[in-house]
Amino acid sequence: MTKKKVVIGMSGGVDSSVAAIVLQKQGYEVIGLFMRNWDSLADGEFNGPTTASGICPQEEDYNDALAVCEKLNIPLHRKDFVKEYWDYVFTYFLDELKNGRTPNPDIMCNKYIKFDMFAKEARKLGADYIATGHYARLKDGHLLRGVDSNKDQTYFLCQVSKDQFKNVLFPIGDMEKPEVRKIAEEYDLVTAKKKDSTGICFIGERNFKNFLKNYLPNQSGDVINIDTNEVIGKHIGLMNYTIGQRKGLNIGGTEDKMFVVGKDLQKNVLYICLGEDNDYLISTSCIVDQVNYLGDTKITKCTAKFRYRQQDIPVELEWQDNNEVLVKYPQGVKSVTPGQACVFYDGEECLGGGIIKEVQKEGKKLWYL
């Protein structure tokens, strides 16, 4: 019988490397595809960032992916999605920041690039399936959390549609990270001890504020203590701050912990509050739009995450007619942030999610958000 062909996204990291090994063991014909999504010369920095070896991180990732594929006797193709990434992900990222929101570009990358553009390219290579190194599982058409709760990545898959999940494989979804590392070491892969990538892919290890000022000019403004309405300092541009942020405010004068609690775009004001239990940080509901629902039927009680690393929070859902949902959590939750994803869960199953449009307390929009 002819082997089924799987095209796997090879990122140059340990997860996709081991996913390729698992697929080989399962008897598939495996083909690697490396995606180049960002032009490091496009960000206004001379020659872009470099690694210790003197090359840009993306090229180092490609070299690592190539070394793994050569060791596993897997062909590796390379495809540029720089324009598509700019049009569908980076432009969205900048527009959201301009509107005072906190976007999650990795979610849009999965929706538009990895499970759309990548899938189309994989089909040109004759793929029966596509695969990635995500810590997630698919069972009977349902998206389930990865077995490793510390690495579960279903949050970032919440905007991928049911149709996009057809013929998708997550080879390491039922594995834990130490096991993945062990397999990579057994195969003596160059990625075995490679550090996991963190943060936004096109920024990498660079300073976020320095990167951003290449695209959005800093406009300094007042920082106001929302409890006292006093001006206590200056900010360096509202796009550099997110709701709930504590570090990097560079405002002195108090021993209490300070948190970003709101933004006024018209007045160019950043609001902060004192104390992590400050009532201004708490909301009790939010409106979520752009909802991508993956469940069989719409339910009214489930759990949700408003940030990736957050614990599951019990919520009630009131479905609207315009692909929006009112998410209620009367117990109160801190630092729910416009622009971030709200992702729904029913036990192990990820039901999809949407983007936080408006944050409320006791049914009223918070004026400072």
Considering only CA atoms, give the Rg of the chain: 22
Give one word for 244, left, alpha or beta, with left for phi > 0 and alpha for psi -120 to 50.
Answer: left
In sequence order, the 6+-apart residues with CB closer than 8 A to the CB of 179 are none
Residues in the chain: 369
Q: Which of 56, 69, 109, 342 is catalytic?
A: 109
To 10 degrees, the CA torsion angle through 359, 360, 363, 365? -90
Separation CA 46–CA 40 (nearest Å) = 9
Nearest Cα to Cα of residue 313 among 283, 290, 291: 283
| 342 flagged as catalytic | no
- CA distance linking residue 114 with residue 85, whole number of Å: 10
Burial of 228 (0-12, 13-18, 19+ CB in 10 A): exposed
By C-alpha distance, which of 161, 124, 162, 154 is closest to 137? 154
* Whether 201 is catalytic: yes
Report d(CA 185, CA 173) in Å as an integer: 19
Inter-residue contact 40 to 60 (CB < 8 Å): no
- Where residue 107 falls (left for φ over 0; alpha for ψ -120 to 50; beta otherwise) is alpha
DSSP β-ladder status, 29-36 and 76-80: parallel
122, 114 Cβ separation under 8 angstroms: no
C-alpha to C-alpha distance for 90 and 150, rounded to whole angstroms: 27
Whole-angstrom distance, CA of residue 151 vs CA of residue 179? 13
Which residue in 56, 69, 158, 201 is the catalytic one? 201
Question: In this structure, are residues 103 and 93 in contact, taking their beta carbons and an 8 Å threshold?
Answer: yes
Q: What angle (nearest 5°) sits at the alpha carbon of residue 192, between those of residues 9 and 65?
A: 35
Distance CA 347, CA 29 (A): 34
- Active-site residues: which are they? 109, 201
